[in-house]
Structure 1
Amino acid sequence: MRRNVGTGVFLVILVICFWAVPDLQEVVAGIAIFLFGMAMLEDGFKLFSGGLLETILERATASLPRALGFGFVTTTLMQSSSLVTLVTISFLSAGLITLTAGVGIIFGANIGTTTGAWLVAGFGLKVNLSAYAMPMLALAVVPAFQSSKYMRGFGLVLAGMGFLFLGIHYMKIGFDAFQSYFDLTEYALTGFSGLILFSGIGAIMTVIMQSSGATMVLVITALAASQITYENALALAIGSNIGTTITAAIGAISANYQGKRLALAHLIFNVATASVALVLIGPIISLVNVASSAIGISPDDYTLKLAVFHTLFNLMGVALMLPLLNKLISFLEHRIPTPTPMLAHPQFISEATDDFPETINIALQKELSHLLDSALPLIAGGLNLQWDRLTQSKNIPGQVMQSRTDMEFALGTKYIEQIKPIYSAIISFSARASGINDMTEAEVSRLHDLRDTASHISRAVKSTNRLHRNTLGYTVRNQGMITQLYDQLRIELADLMVQLDLLNTANADKSWLEQAQVQAQLTRKNAISQAEKYIRNTQIEAPMATSFINDTQYAYDVAHNLISAAQTLYLEPISIDHAASDAPQPTVHTS
């Protein structure tokens, strides 16, 4: 309610200002058109993110220099450090790039965002941009309404550029006409107090407009119309760098711990850079004068000198922070620690990936691997086996035979604490993601397959819980043939789980998964046949045999669901390469 009242009051004040100063309409309309163009530009580039942008990002961050270059180039092309920041947070949250690479991209994006100032100061103010804007808008209509998302993306990008040009044009006209009513330079402040005040104004402007690029365009057009002083314009540029961190902060709200680390890095970098620029403003201005003179910029061309300043102080920030990068990473990891793996929280899926369809399935796949990693120790515990000993043992049958101590393993409770929260998060994430319009039919199909994989893993743990009572009763002490039968079930499942665990290792052989379901069914039939043989030979009693045959079905359910999950995760087409090797096929134990 208060927000609505505040919005209403603001609109009333704006209308009054329009009535009092008609030419103000063109300035505000120019800002609105420019921001609308920015939004269309971002939406257009997002439509290219169904594989192209993600592939480039994944391959361009193998080293810090390449990450810096990627941040610079993409921000220069897209003219949106906000989009680059959000893509980076999305990929970092999904575990596809390292935190160091993410920070490198942010550093590069800060340099790339300065190219906008050069375009406006060097081209936008000297050319009638509306002459270019109108044809671009007219041409954009045709591809923008095509069914292909790439054509729509191209149309939106073209329209976005047209609206950007149109917005700059109207801001320039508005400020030129504005001079006949007010001279805003009367409110100029000099000295350190002016730097602080106008830096704060620049930060607030950027927070409101959600775009440092929009702030810089407004500042440059106002400076060109002599509505602000050069010194105050420099302070506004510094403030815009601080205000732009709000984009990363908003994007990190729904991100995991890695996304939050990146947002904090962005804040530290921009605030530190701005602080140094404010302290060293005198030497930096002198350096700007020298650099401007060297490249032929006139001493009174303050708009281009502002572009030089914007570039130099961002380069200075990167130069200062790069030697401290390792310390920054260590600080971020200490300040926002990695969640303890045993805590039942999703590690890779979050709302931060929602705008990028390719990232959605990659993040979900990683989360399912995390869920499987959480489930395997619980299944082992439900069979009265210690998971760490199984994974380290070279003799699984011998390890199983030695496991006779009652572990007092509360599998039902552990399922609720360690599996269900992640499973629920996966189902919620899948339901939300399946409603995203930009996902292709193949991506939606893959999403549904991955969602079903979570159900398989959950059912495997629940089936183990049904096995737990009899397994415990017949294996904590040797009771003859019935103990041998249950031990054989435990050996089969333990062997399967260890082989599944090895699938995450490099060069793991996955070909055995193709016939694993057939082998599991055969193992079940052999176990039942063995039980029937023992009954005929009066080696076990019928009630024991009945329990074992029922439990054989539960054991098969565990194996079937684990294998189904692994087949979806490791055999179906995925975005990350999992190269197969010539590793030996796992040994399958039969009764």
Structure 2
Amino acid sequence: MSMEDLQRFIQFLGGLGMFLYGMDRMADGLQKSAGHKMQQLLGALTENRIMGILLGTGITAIIFSSSATTVMVVGFVNAGILNLSQAVGIIMGANIGTTVTSWIVSINEWGEMLKPELFSPVLIVVGALLGFLSKSGKRKQTGEILVGFGLLFLGLDFMSGCAAVYRTNPVLLHIFTFLGEKPLLGVAAGLFVTCLIQSSSVSVGILQVLALNGMVNWQTAVFINLGQNIGSCAAALHSSVGANATGKRAAVIHLLFNLAGAMVFGVIMAAVFRWNPAFAAASVNSVEISIFHTVFNVSNTILLYPFAGLLVKASGILVKDDGQQKECTLDSTDEMKRHLDRRILDTPSFAIEGVSHEVVNMGYAALHNFDLAAQVLLKDDTGEAVQVNKMEQKIDDYEKILTDYLIKISNQSLNEEQHLIVKNLFYIVSDFERISDHCENLSELAVEKAKRNIVFSEDADRELREMFHAVRSSVEHAIKAKETADMTEVRAVVRSEELVDNLEEEFRERHIGRLSAQTCQPENGVIYLDALNNLERISDHAHNIAGFVRDEM
């Protein structure tokens, strides 16, 4: 290799780097702009497979990678958020969504004004100005998208310029012709490059760059493209290592789907090329590759849609149960870890949705501990104190798991709204943990009360019951406020908190009156006042949670 060839190769790699970075910036900006809408997409998903296809297409169009979408699907299935029937539709849609990138790459063949050298610098300048000068988060995200778009096409221009020199190179032309004449080798080449790059969108883009310079014929392009579609399964298969059997099956479904399509289209196109050798040897351009790529993925989805159930069954035959699906073998902390799957982190909107659900579950666990503490103190059932301690330990574990996951989410690229939600979730997790701490305090007070043979007066007992009822209402409404984002629930917490504050002040004064009248022993009063104080603090934490929910509305 001459020095000039080495220089062109380095420039080609530099162009590829700009292409990859630009695509990443575009996807990142689009994800930030979509924000909460991405979460709504998941919420709209039902057993309707067509809805799943639309969802998979939409997500892939936003994040520019069918591999990333299917990796995320493996995570959802592994976490129990999706079942395999729902996953099939999303996987089919992901293959359609990935065609968006190929159409973007081919845009420079749509007209002279769309040549990268003309509009790429303009996009980069406008995007950079928006990013640096705008205070609005939305405008900054638009700037990020424009810069990514510009860099993507600048990278394509670099790669195309380097490849143009070799358009008449007899060695390269012979290689591409040979790959076309040997379909299995063509498929293997596309498969290898895609597995190496870990992105079918990028490998298809490279093929289009070569096609731009007239280096690829139809026969070669088709078989390489079929291999690229199979290669897009590599990321999901690799990601499924360590997943449960259901998660592995989702990755296998993606492989079976693409393999079946490649085999059917491979046979059809081989027959077409044999029948029409002139067409097989004709040069293909990037727009025509986009057309074939789109026709293949849409037709494959239509063809295999009726057999989705068979794909699920086939995945079950290939991947046997590993015993992890039996939820009875898992305790709740294991379930929470499984639900907070690391594969979902690359799509922060969905990761936030998942962790929010688990925070609500932590809230209900804290409420259960509150009910246990009430039983210990009000019914003198000190045997339940052990259960309160166990639940408190479990809630401490929840706090650690959720906090660790929230830290990982906060290290992702988030928009302003998502930053606020994650920050508030940190605080809400802490508030639920503090509620459980106070429940443990109440349980310890009950045990101390039993040791000293303390018996509350009828008035004190009635007041504590009323206080417990008001505080429970406050906590329950706070959990529902977080669960439903309903302002009615937030207002209910505010009303309950006001009632609790008033009751605490009133009951404290009554207690002082009883002490003055010597109808209550001082040692009884210490337990009573500490219980009031813990209950009032629990209500304060519920009020904090409602405040964080209100901030997000």
- The TM-score bracket by the shorter chain reads 0.7 to 0.9
Cross-structure match for 1:585: none
Q: What residue ranges of structure 2 are gaps of 5+ in the alignment?
A: none
Tell me whether 1:457 sits opposite 2:432 in the alignment. yes
Distance 2:110 2:170 in 1: 21
Do 2:190 and 2:228's aligned partners in 1 also have CA atoms closer than 8 Å?
Answer: yes
Cross-structure match for 2:20: 35
Deviation at 1:26, TM superposition (A): 5.4
Deviation at 1:471, TM superposition (A): 1.9
Do 2:395 and 2:433's aligned partners in 1 also have CA atoms closer than 8 Å?
Answer: yes
Of 469, 476, 498 in structure 2, the residue corresponding to residue 518 of structure 1 is 498
Deviation at 1:409, TM superposition (A): 1.9
Tell me whether 1:542 sits opposite 2:522 in the alignment. yes
Moved more, 364-373 or 423-432: 423-432
Distance 1:482 1:333 in 2: 63
Q: What residue ranges of structure 1 are gaps of 5+ in the alignment?
A: 1-15, 387-399, 576-591
What amino acid does structure 2 have at the position aligned with 1:557? Answer: R
Cross-structure match for 1:3: none
Distance 2:499 2:21 in 1: 60
Listed as ranges, the matches of 1:63-74 within 5 Å are 64-72=49-57
Secondary structure of the 2:332 match is: coil
Distance 1:221 1:241 in 2: 18
Tell me whether 1:284 sits opposite 2:268 in the alignment. yes
Do 2:454 and 2:524's aligned partners in 1 also have CA atoms closer than 8 Å?
Answer: no
Query: Which deviations, in whole Å up to 9, do the C-alpha atoms of 1:408-433 show, x marking residues without a partner?
Result: 524334322x1112212344455565
Of 289, 309, 313 in structure 1, the residue corresponding to residue 296 of structure 2 is 313
Cross-structure match for 1:558: 538
Do 2:410 and 2:419's aligned partners in 1 also have CA atoms closer than 8 Å?
Answer: yes
Tell me whether 1:415 sits opposite 2:380 in the alignment. no
Listed as ranges, the matches of 1:116-131 within 5 Å are 116-117=101-102, 124=109, 129-131=116-118
Distance 1:324 1:495 in 2: 55
Change beyond 3 A, Cα 1:338–1:422: farther
Do 1:17 and 1:24's aligned partners in 2 also have CA atoms closer than 8 Å?
Answer: no
Deviation at 1:466, TM superposition (A): 2.3
Tell me whether 1:375 sits opposite 2:366 in the alignment. yes
Secondary structure of the 2:386 match is: coil
Listed as ranges, the matches of 1:329-348 within 5 Å are 337=325, 340=330, 342-343=332-333, 345=336
Do 1:460 and 1:558's aligned partners in 2 also have CA atoms closer than 8 Å?
Answer: yes
Which has the larger share of helix?
2
Do 1:463 and 1:554's aligned partners in 2 also have CA atoms closer than 8 Å?
Answer: yes
Listed as ranges, the matches of 1:14-53 within 5 Å are 19=4, 23-25=8-10, 27-51=12-36, 53=37
Deviation at 1:372, TM superposition (A): 0.9
Distance 1:558 1:56 in 2: 32
Deviation at 1:518, TM superposition (A): 2.6
Query: Which deviations, in whole Å up to 9, do the C-alpha atoms of 1:384-415 show, x marking residues without a partner?
Result: 469xxxxxxxxxxxxx65x7573352433432
Deviation at 1:321, TM superposition (A): 4.8
Distance 1:253 1:247 in 2: 10
Of 275, 282, 295 in structure 2, the residue corresponding to residue 300 of structure 1 is 282
Secondary structure of the 1:178 match is: coil
Deviation at 1:43, TM superposition (A): 3.4
Q: Percent identity?
A: 16
What amino acid does structure 2 have at the position aligned with 1:142? Answer: L
Deviation at 1:532, TM superposition (A): 4.9
Tell me whether 1:270 sits opposite 2:254 in the alignment. yes
Distance 1:195 1:483 in 2: 89
Of 157, 164, 175 in structure 1, the residue corresponding to residue 145 of structure 2 is 157
Deviation at 1:479, TM superposition (A): 7.2
Q: What TM-score does the superposition give when structure 1 sets the normalisation length?
A: 0.71
Change beyond 3 A, Cα 1:17–1:515: farther
Of 196, 200, 205 in structure 2, the residue corresponding to residue 208 of structure 1 is 196
Cross-structure match for 1:114: 99
Deviation at 1:275, TM superposition (A): 2.0
Query: Which deviations, in whole Å up to 9, do the C-alpha atoms of 1:109-148 show, x marking residues without a partner?
Result: 3113224445656863986543444444454443343333
Cross-structure match for 1:183: 171
Change beyond 3 A, Cα 1:548–1:420: same
Tell me whether 1:243 sits opposite 2:231 in the alignment. yes
Query: Which deviations, in whole Å up to 9, do the C-alpha atoms of 1:305-337 show, x marking residues without a partner?
Result: 654543343234423553455676796997774
Tell me whether 1:497 sits opposite 2:477 in the alignment. no
Tell me whether 1:54 sits opposite 2:33 in the alignment. no
Deviation at 1:237, TM superposition (A): 1.5
Moved more, 116-125 or 164-173: 116-125
Distance 2:515 2:144 in 1: 74
Deviation at 1:461, TM superposition (A): 1.6
Change beyond 3 A, Cα 1:56–1:116: same
Distance 1:327 1:545 in 2: 70
Of 568, 572, 582 in structure 1, the residue corresponding to residue 547 of structure 2 is 568
Q: What TM-score does the superposition give when structure 2 sets the normalisation length?
A: 0.75
Query: Which deviations, in whole Å up to 9, do the C-alpha atoms of 1:13-52 show, x marking residues without a partner?
Result: xxx575556654554444334223323322332442444x
Distance 1:309 1:274 in 2: 15
Distance 2:257 2:348 in 1: 34
Q: CA RMSD in A?
A: 4.9
Cross-structure match for 2:129: 142
Secondary structure of the 2:282 match is: coil
What amino acid does structure 1 have at the position aligned with 2:522? Answer: A
Deviation at 1:453, TM superposition (A): 2.5
Query: Which deviations, in whole Å up to 9, do the C-alpha atoms of 1:343-396 show, x marking residues without a partner?
Result: 26357656667666766765554333121112122232234469xxxxxxxxxx
Number of corresponding residues: 532
Do 1:185 and 1:229's aligned partners in 2 also have CA atoms closer than 8 Å?
Answer: no
